[in-house]
Structure 1
Amino acid sequence: MSEIKLVATARTEFGKGAARRIRRAHQIPAVLYGHGTKPLHVTLPGHETMLSLKNSNALYSIELDGKETLAIVKDVQRDVVRQVIEHVDLLIVKKGEKVAVDVPVTIVGESAPGTIHVVETQNLSLEAEATHLPQHVEVSIEGLEGGSAVTAGEVTLPTGTTLVTDAEIVVVTVTVPQASAADVAAEEAAAELAAEQSAASASEA
């Protein structure tokens, strides 16, 4: 996994006012913690950080005062109204160690004709090497018939990972759509109308 490099600066001001000033300067408040170290409060470059967060489970190389530290994102606080990033929590990791992360589910293949699928679980928790975190987990529904379900334990996991999520959790279901009573009534009404129009046309002829 390639590392995303970000240059951080130490943060000495705290509180809501300081955070607003940081964001107005197009930077993002963050904290770097883990491995028994004292939490480091830093600021990250706003635009680069925002773009990097589009990658799930990315590995970061955070440069602070000339020293580089490997880290992964553990939490992102966003303002849901203004759609801005308010704070980022970064967990320090070491090469070779295992960490638990949530990995997005990606559906591949097509279920049997006339069926639809519903994703019941959007993410699976996996344990993986910190420097080789999977970006997604593929779940195949190829050829599955209505009434089928795929559980977490049945998913083929990326190499080098183990499942943390309960193996019995349902990830995706495949069903045959059922017409609602309103749909059936509308179809019957349309059929009756068509029959009346046909009969009227025949009598006029």
Structure 2
Amino acid sequence: MAEVKLSAERRTDFGKGAARRTRRENKVPAVIYGHGADPKHVSLDGHALMMALKTPNVLINLDIAGKGELVIPKAVQRDPLRGFLVHVDFLAVKKGEKVTVEVPVLTEGELAPGGNLLEHILNALPVEAEATHIPEAFTVSIEGLEAGHTIRAGDIPLPRGSSLAVEEDAAVLQVVAAQAEAPAEEAEEEAGAEGAPEEKSAQSAEG
């Protein structure tokens, strides 16, 4: 797992107004939690942090006034319209310490012919791993799988030192049979055609 080094500055002003001023300087307000210590309020360069967060569960070595601190992102808030970073919560970690994280599940290969669908029941797999060796992602082969096949948490190999934080029989991926359904408009037209003779007979009887 790669370690990214970033610089951070201590924040002494809090509240929405202070956060807006921080963002106007192209910086992101953040808070560091963990190890029973008081939360630390910091700010980081917005672009550098955004690039670092492209890696899920990235390990970041923060330089705060010349003192290094290892953290992982725990909660990331983004602007819903423009996508820029609004606020980040970090969890302080130590080498050798175990943490529970959600690791993205990726797939490779093609399903068996037949137009079946792959359902992602879990997009990320909860695991407990050493803080400095968190897997970036799990890649699962779906090559040739047919309808009805289910891949469970226990089927996914974990790296040494990691363990599942979910039941082994928890479904992660499932192949669902394709269902051919008539379009709604065609169904309505068929229903109308079936009802037409009855309507005509009723009108004739009334006449």
Equivalent pairs, count: 186
Shift of 1:40: 0.8
Shift of 1:42: 0.5
1 CA distance for matches of 2:50 and 2:126? 24
- Paired residue for 1:179? 180
> What secondary structure does 1:5 align onto?
strand
1 CA distance for matches of 2:42 and 2:165? 31
2 CA distance for matches of 1:116 and 1:158? 29
- Paired residue for 2:146? 145
Contact 1:125 1:163 survives alignment (8 Å): yes
Structure 2: runs of 5+ lacking an equivalent: 188-207
Contact 1:139 1:156 survives alignment (8 Å): no
- Paired residue for 1:135? 136
Shift of 1:46: 0.8
- Paired residue for 2:158? 157
1:67-112 superposed Cα distances (whole Å, 9 cap, x missing partner): 0011111111122123221111111111111100011110122221
Shift of 1:126: 0.4
- Paired residue for 2:106? 106
> What secondary structure does 2:60 align onto?
strand
Letter of the structure 1 residue corresponding to residue 33 of structure 2: Y
- Paired residue for 1:64? 64
Shift of 1:142: 2.2
Letter of the structure 2 residue corresponding to residue 117 of structure 1: L
> What secondary structure does 2:39 align onto?
strand
Structure 1: runs of 5+ lacking an equivalent: 187-205
2 CA distance for matches of 1:108 and 1:152? 17
- Paired residue for 2:125? 124
- Paired residue for 2:193? none
- Tell me how large the CA RMSD over aligned residues is: 1.8
Shift of 1:116: 2.9
Letter of the structure 1 residue corresponding to residue 177 of structure 2: V
1 CA distance for matches of 2:163 and 2:157? 10
Shift of 1:176: 2.9
Contact 1:99 1:127 survives alignment (8 Å): yes
- Paired residue for 1:2? 2
- Paired residue for 1:197? none
- Paired residue for 1:83? 83
Shift of 1:173: 1.1
Percent identical residues? 50
TM-score w.r.t. length of structure 2: 0.84
- Paired residue for 1:43? 43
Letter of the structure 2 residue corresponding to residue 153 of structure 1: G
> What secondary structure does 1:181 align onto?
coil
Shift of 1:153: 2.0
- Could you list the runs of 4 or more consecutive aligned residues of structure 1 that deviate by over 4 angstroms after TM superposition? none
1:146-190 superposed Cα distances (whole Å, 9 cap, x missing partner): 11111112222233211102323211111331211239x69xxxx
2 CA distance for matches of 1:181 and 1:3? 53
